Amino acid sequence: MEPELGEEDVGSKAWEPGMLARQSGVSMDDDLNRSQSRLGFLDMDKEAKQDLIDDKEFDIPQVDTPPTLESILNETDDEEESFIPEDPALLNVEAIDVHSCDTSSLASSDSGDRVHKRKKKLPDAFSRHGSVMHHSLLKGISAQIVSAADKVDAGLPTAIAVSNLIAVGTSHGLALIFDTNQAMRLCLGSTAVGAQYGAVSALSINSDCSRLLCGFAKGQITMWDLAGGKLLRTITDAHPPGTAILHIKFTDDPTLAVCNDSGGSVFELTFKRVMGVRTCESRCLFSGSKGEVCCIEPLHTKAELRDHPITHYSLLAMASLTKILVIGLKPSLKVWMTFPYGRMDPSSVPLLAWHFVILQGALNPMLAFCRGDVVHFLLVKRDDSGAIHINKQKQLHLHYDLINFTWINARTVALLDSAEKLHVIDRQTQEELETLEISDVQLVYNSSHFKSLATGGNVSQALAFVGEKACYESISSYGGQIFYLGTKSVHAMTLRNWRERVDHLLKQDCYNEALALAWSFHEGKAKAVVGLSGDPKKRKSVVADKIVEILLQYTEKALRKCPEQGKIQVMEQHFQDTVPLMVDYCLLLQRTDILFSQMYDKLSENCVAKGVFLECLEPYLLRDQLPGLTAHVMKDLLLHFQDQGQMESVEACIVHMDITSLDIQNIVHMCWEHRLYDAVIYVYNKGTNDFISPMEKLFNAISAPINSGKSLTDEQVVMGNKLLVYISSSLAGRAYPLGDIPEDLVPLVKNQVFEFLIRLHSPETPQEEEVYPYIRTLLHFDTREFLNVLALTFEDFTNDKQAVEHQQRIVDILLKVMVENSDFTPSQVGCLFTFLARQLAKPDNTLFVNRMLFDQVLEFLCSPDDDSRHSERQQVLLELLHAGGVVQFEENRLIQLAERAQFYQICEFMYERKHQYDKIIDCYMQDPIRKQDVFNYIHNILSIPGYSAEEKEATWDKTMQHMEELILLCPSKAADLVCTHFSSHLEDVIGKLKDPLLVLQFLRSLLDPRDGAHVTPEVLQTLPHITELFIDLMYQNDPEQVAPLLQILEHYRLEETIQIAQRHNHHETLAYLLEKKGDVEAAFRVMLMRLQERLSNLTSDSVDSPSFKVMPNMKDLEETLTETILLCERTSDTLNQQQREALWFPLLEAMMSPQKHFTSSSAQMYSESLKTLTMQVLNSMATYISLPSILQRILQDPVYGKGKLVEIQGLVLGMLDTFNYEQTLLETTTNLLNQDLHWSLCNLKASVTRALVPKQDYCCVCLQQYKRRQEATDEIIVFSCGHLYHSLCLLGKDCKVEVGGQSQWICHRCNSTNKGRAGRQTVTDVKKGRTTSLAQVRGTSSRSSREEAAKKSSTDPILDPQQLQAFQHLCRLYKGTSRLALLTELCRSQSPEKSSSYYASYGGIATSSVFQNENFQLHLAPPPYLGD
C-alpha cells in the first residue's frame, strides 16, 4: 500500500500507468498527475480540529515498558477466546442486527459461491456528488491473460501487484509482467515449476520496480529481476514446510521483506549478497501457534517522505484473529501497540491499510484497520524522545461487512463489502459519495491458499473460515488507482477529475445536478475533488467559467425541449422547472451581464419563457440583490406585471428600481391610476427630487371629505396613514418607503416639509377655506398620530435658531387651530395639551405656552355640567398629568375640580403625590368602576415595604372605618384581608357588623376551609366563641349544612356547641357531638328517640294520610335507621358483650314494637317495609351479637312467644342462610389454603433437588475450561442461571458471603450485570435472602473432603443454604400472612373444646383474628398443573 498525502497523492511521478488507463479508455486530467508530485498544497487537506475526538478519551494508554514480542507470543487466551461460543444469556438484545438478509453469489476461481448478508439498502449519492469513480476494463492485459491460459497453459489469475509495472500471478506458477502500454514484457517461471511449487499466492514489487517476490501455494518464495527476467533467489526454508504463502511484502528497505504463511506465522526475510552469493536469512516475528496472523501491511513511504522520522522504525502492522499489532523492525524489534478486537463474527476478514495524512498541522501515518462493519483509524506520532504514540481517531460505522479497504487519498477511501459493492466514502464526514456494483468483475478470492489445499489443508478451522472471503492478493492500489483482478480480466478504478464528473452528468441531461455539483466545486464544499489546484480565486474562476458554459447550454436545451403543442400550463411548468435555476446561478456568480444579455435574448424568443424569466426577478429585486438591471428589462418587467394585473408586484418592484432611465411621466400616471401611492412617492422623490408634490396630491384626496364632515372611505384612510408616515420619514431624513434621503438633501427636505405644513392657505384656495388647512386636516384625520410625528421630529431637532423658530411656530399654530375651534373633541384637545406638557417638561425646553390656556383646558375637561364623555375626559386629563402637565396647575384647585367632576382617578393621582394614601381608599369606595380593586390596594399599602408607619397606620384606621362596607362589597375578599392584616382585631371587626346575615357571610368566608380561609389556628383557639357564633348562625339560616360543617371545623367547645344543638333541637348534630364527646349512650338515646319519633309519626299518619304523603316519612325513617345502625357499628368494636346488647336490643325492640299495634289494614301497608328494615338491623347486629342470644331475645318477646312463630319465620331463616354461607366460605378457604401449601412444598422440593445444567464448559471469570484447573482445593460451582465458575475464581471476586452463620455463593456475572439496577440482586440482597440463583458445587478436591461433606449432610437435619435461600424466595412470592398463622386460626375457631362457645365468643375472635387485619389477603389463584 503506497502512502498518500492530502487529497492528492504525495511524491508520485507523472504516473506511467496513467498511460495504461488512457490506453483502455480512461482519460485522466494532467492536473492530477502534476499535483501528485507537489507538496505545496498540503494545507488544502488539513483536517478541521472540530472533527477530532478528544485525545484524553481515546488515546491508547502509554506504558512505561512496552510488551515484548515474546510476551505477546506466550499469551494463552488469544486463540481459544475467539472460539468460545457466546452465552445467549449475556447477549445484549439491543445490539442484535435486525436488518433483512438475502443471499448472492460471488464469483471466485477458488472458493465458489459465498453467502453474505445485505444489512441495509445502499443510499444513492448520485444526485449530490455525481459519478465519483471511473470504472474501466484493461482490455490489453485481460486479453493476454486469457490468451496465456489457452496457449501456454498459464492457468487462471490468482494474484496481482502494481507499481510502474503490473504483475499477475497464475494458478500454474507463472508471473506475467505488463508495462504501462499493456504490453507483456516478461513471463516469469514455467508450468513445470508451477507443478512443483503450486499456484502463485502472493506478489510484491519493490519501490524501484527492480525486483519481484513471488510466494507460492506450497510455501516456496522466488525473487526475480524485472529488468532482465532473471531468477535471483529460490527460498524454500524461510518458514515451516507444508504451509502456503498468504502475503509477501517488500519494505522500504529493498533488502528487507516480510511474509505470512497459512500457519499464521510472520517471518522477516533479509536479503544479502556475500562474495557474489545471494542469501536470505529468515527470522520469526510472530508464531502462529499462539495466534494466527492472516494479514500484514508494512508502512511504505515515497521518496519525498523518506526523511520523515517515522520511516526509520520500519513499522509493520499485523492482524491476527484476535488482535492488531504494530511493531517496529528497526533499529531493533519492538512492539509499539496491541489492540484487541473483542468478539467478532468469525467469518469477517481482518483488513489493514496505511496512509499519510495531515492532522493538526502535522504529517503522520494513519493506520486503518477493520474487521466486520466498523473501521478504526489510528494516528501514529513520534515525540521528541523517540517514542511512538498511537492515538485512536473517530470510528467509521457501516451497515455491511467489508472484505477490502483501500485508501484513494487522505480524505477518500474505497470499501468493498461482502456483496461485491464498492462504496466510496469521505473519511472526515463519513458521507458515502458513490456505490458501484462490481460483481461483473468476477473477483478472484484467495480461499484455497488460506485453506492450504495445495499442502493437504493443514490449517486451523478459524483461518479457513476467514479465508472464505479473503481477496487480499486480488486488489492492489497505486497512484490513486485501484486494480481488481477477475477470473478473466483486470479492472481499474480511478477518481474522476472535477470536469469529468460534471460532464458525466451533462451527458445524462442532469443539468440541475451538474450545476449543483459545479457550485459545490466553486464553494469548496465538494468531496473527492481532483484536478482543481492553485489559489482559491483561480479555482473559483475556472469553475465559474464552466458554470456559465453549462447555463448557456441549459438555456438552449430548455428552449429546444419545450413542448410545441399542448396546454399553456405545460409550457409554463416546463420553464418553471428550468429558468429559475438559471437565474439563481447567474446571480450567485454575479454574472448579470450574461443574465440580461445572452440568456434574456434567447429566452425572449419564447413569450412563456420570457414571462417566467421576468417573474423570477421579482424576489431578487425586492431583496435588492439585482444590480445592473437594464432599462429594457425594467420596462419589460413592469409591462409584464401590468398585463397580468399584478399591480402590487408592480409597486413592489418600482420602489426597488433605479427609475431614472424610464419615462417618469408615464410611470406616475400609471401608478396614480392604479392607486400605487408608495410608487408615486418613490418616483417623485427618486426621479425628480420632488418631495412636496406627492404630499399635495394626497392632501387633496383626503381634505375634501374631512372638511365637509363626511366619513372617510377605507381607501382614503389608507392614503391618510401613508401621508403621516411619509411626513414622519421626511422629517426624520429617511426615504419613503425604504432607504435614506441623501445627506446633502436632508436639511432642504425638512425645511420644505415644514414650510408646506405651516402654509396659511393651499395653492388653489377656495373662498371658504380656513387658515392652516394642512395642519387642520391632519389634526382632524388623526390627532394623536400627527402629534406623535411632531414629537419625534422635535426629538431630532438641533437647538439652532431656525429649528427653535419652526417648533414655536408649529405650537402656536396648533393652539390657534384647536383652542379657538369647537370642532375638536375633548380627547383631541387633551392630546394636544399632553403633547405640550411633555415638550415643556424637557430640561432643554425652549417653547413658550401661555399658562392661561392650561387653566382653560382644565375648566373645559372638569366641567360638571357636561356628563357626556365622562371617562374620556378623565382619561385625557390623567394622561396630561402623567405627561408633566401637573406643574401647570394649582394642585388644591385641581383636586377641588376633580372631586366636583367625580374624577376619582385624578384625585388618586394627586393624593398619591401628597402621600395621603388613606384618602385614596375613599376614592376607590366612591368609584363604582374600581370598587373591587380597593382590596388589592389596601393589601399593597399594608404589606409592601416603602411606606412609613404613619402612612400604614392611617390606611389601617381608614380600612376599619369602611370595614362593614368592604364586607358588604365582597365577603370573601374582606375575609382574606382580615386574615392577613386584622386577625388580632377579629372581635372588633365582627362587632362593627349589625346585620346577622352579613355576619354569617363574613364568618363563612373566614372559617369555612372550603372557602379558602387562612385564619391562624392560634387565633381561633383563643376565640372559640367566634366559631360557636358561626355554628349558631348556621343553625338559624342553613341547618342542613351544619352536620358536614362540624366535621371540618375544629376550634369550638363541645359543651357549648352541644347546648347550641339542644337549643335548636337538631338531633343529628347533637348525636354527632355527643359521640365525639365520648358519651355513646347519650348519643344512642338521641338517635333512638328520633327513630321512635319517626315511627310514631309513621303510624299516626298512616290512618288519615294517603300513601303518596306517607312515602316521605318512610324515607326519613330509613335514613334515621341507617344513621343509628352506623352509630352502633362504630362503637361496638370498643364495647364488651353486655354493652353491645344494651345498644342493639333496644334498637331491635324499637323496630319491632310498632308491629304489635298495627291493625290488620295498616299491617298490610307497612308490614313488608318494616320487616325489611328489621332484617337490616338483625343482619348488622349479627356481626357483634351471638346468634343464640338474638333468637332467645326474639322468642322471649311477648308477641312472638305466644305461638306466632310464623311471623318471624322469614327473619330466622334469613339468619340461618347467612350462617350457612359463611360456614361454606370458611371451608372452601381452608381447602384452598391446604392445596396451596401442598403445591408450594412440592415445588420447593423439586427446585432444590433438580440438577443444574451449565450453558458453557468454561469458567465465566478466567474463561478457561473447567477441566484444566486441577488444584486440590478447587471446586466447580454451577448456578441456576447457567453460569459456571471455579470456586477459587469466584472467591477472588468476593462472591462468597455469610448468611445466618453459613457461607453462600452468589453469581458474579449476574451480580455485576445487574448492579445499579433497582430491584435487582446485590450482595446486600443475598444477605437478606433475596437471591434467585441456586448453586450446586461439584468438588474436585480430595476424597476426605468429600467424605466429610457427605457425613455432615447425613447428620445435619437442617436445610442447606441453597435450600433455605429457595424457601425464603418462595415465601416472598406468596408474601402475606403465613400459612401457619392461617391454619392455627382456623383450627382454633373449629376445635371441639371451643365449638360450644364459638358464637358467644365471636366478638372476641374478631378483634384478634388475622382475618380482621386490613392487610389480610388470600392467594386464591389455582396452582399450576404439575406434569409427570
**Listed residue (782, 799, 681) closest to 729, CA to CA:** 681
Stretch 1273-1297: mean pLDDT, rounded? 83
**pLDDT given at position 1402:** 35
Instruction: Answer with the residue of higher pLDDT: 403 or 1320.
Output: 403
For CA atoms 4, 10, 14, 16, the dihedral sign is negative
What percent of the chain lies above the pLDDT cut of 90?
Answer: 20
* Whether pLDDT at 486 is above 90: yes
823-828, Cβ contacts within 8 angstroms, sequence gap of 24 or more: 823/780, 824/779, 824/780, 824/783, 825/869, 825/872, 826/860, 826/861, 826/869, 826/872, 826/873, 826/876, 827/783, 827/869, 827/872, 827/873, 827/875, 827/876, 828/779, 828/783
The C-alpha cell at 640 is 409584464
Does 206 have pLDDT greater than 80? yes
Give CA–CA dist 554/549, Å, rounded.
9
pLDDT tier, 1415 (very low <50, low <70, confident <90, very high otherwise)? low
Which single residue is written with the C-alpha cell 470499501? Answer: 415
- Residue-wise pLDDT for 1068-1126, tens only, equals 888 888 888 888 888 888 888 888 888 887 777 555 555 444 566 778 888 888 888 88
Q: For position 250, what pLDDT does the model report?
A: 95
Of residues 748 and 1191, more confidence is placed in: 748
pLDDT for the residue numbered 8? 36
What pLDDT, on a 0 to 100 scale, did the predictor assign at position 638? Answer: 87
Quick one: pLDDT band at residue 902, thresholds 50, 70, 90? confident
**What is the predicted pLDDT for the residue at 42?**
30
Contact partners, residue 641, CB within 8 Å, separation at least 6: 614, 647, 649, 650, 653
d(CA 645, CA 636): 14
Residues 6+ apart with CB under 8 A from 1192: none
Model confidence pLDDT, tens digit, residues 629-662: 888 888 888 888 888 888 888 888 888 888 877 7
Task: Tell me what the mean pLDDT of segment 455-484 comes to.
Answer: 90
Mean pLDDT of 303-323: 89
Instruction: Assign 483 a pLDDT band (cuts: 50, 70, 90).
Output: very high
Confidence grade of residue 548 (pLDDT, cut at 50, 70, 90): very high
Omega of the bond leading into 88 within 30 degrees of 0 (cis): no
1386 confidence band (pLDDT: 50, 70, 90): low
pLDDT reading at 1246 higher than 90? no
Pick left, alpha or beta for residue 1037 (phi over 0 → left; psi -120 to 50 → alpha; otherwise beta): alpha
pLDDT tens track for 21-77: 333 333 333 443 333 333 333 333 333 333 333 443 334 444 445 555 445 444 443
d(C-alpha 751, C-alpha 813), whole Å: 17
Q: Residue 225 above 90 pLDDT? A: yes
Q: What is the mean pLDDT of the chain?
A: 77
Q: How far apart are CA 744 and CA 906, in angstroms?
A: 49
Taking residues 731-742, report their average pLDDT: 87
Q: Are 36 and 480 in contact (CB under 8 A)?
A: yes
Print burial letters for 782-795: b (CB count within 10 Å at least 16), e (below 16): bbebbbebbeebbe
Strands 293-298 and 315-320: antiparallel
Taking the C-alpha atoms of residue 707 and residue 710, their distance in angstroms, rounded to an integer, is 8
Does this model's pTM top 0.75? My answer is no
Residue 126 has pLDDT above 80, yes or no: no
Is a pLDDT exceeding 90 seen at residue 1025?
Answer: no
In the sheet with 256-261, reading across from the earlier edge strand, the strands are 245-250, 256-261, 266-274, 277-286
How long, in residues, is the chain? 1428
Mean of the pLDDT values across residues 242-263? 93
pLDDT band for 1021, please (50, 70, 90 cuts).
confident
List, as one string, the DSSP characters of 654-721: HTTS-GGGS-HHHHHHHHHHTT-HHHHHHHHHHHH---SHHHHHHHHHHHHHHHTTPPPPHHHHHHHH
Q: What is the pLDDT of residue 95?
A: 30
Q: What residue type is 256 in one-letter code?
A: L
Q: Cis bond leading into 331, ω under 30°?
A: yes
- Mean pLDDT over residues 774-778, rounded? 87
What is the pLDDT at residue 86?
31
pLDDT of residue 48: 35
Cα–Cα distance measured from residue 787 to residue 1231, given in angstroms and rounded to the nearest whole number = 98
Quick check: 1094 and 1152 in contact, CB under 8 A? Answer: no
Banded model confidence at residue 1209, pLDDT cuts 50, 70, 90: low
d(CA 166, CA 182): 9
Beta-bridged to residue 354, according to DSSP, are 367
Cα distance from N-terminal residue to C-terminal residue, the chain: 68
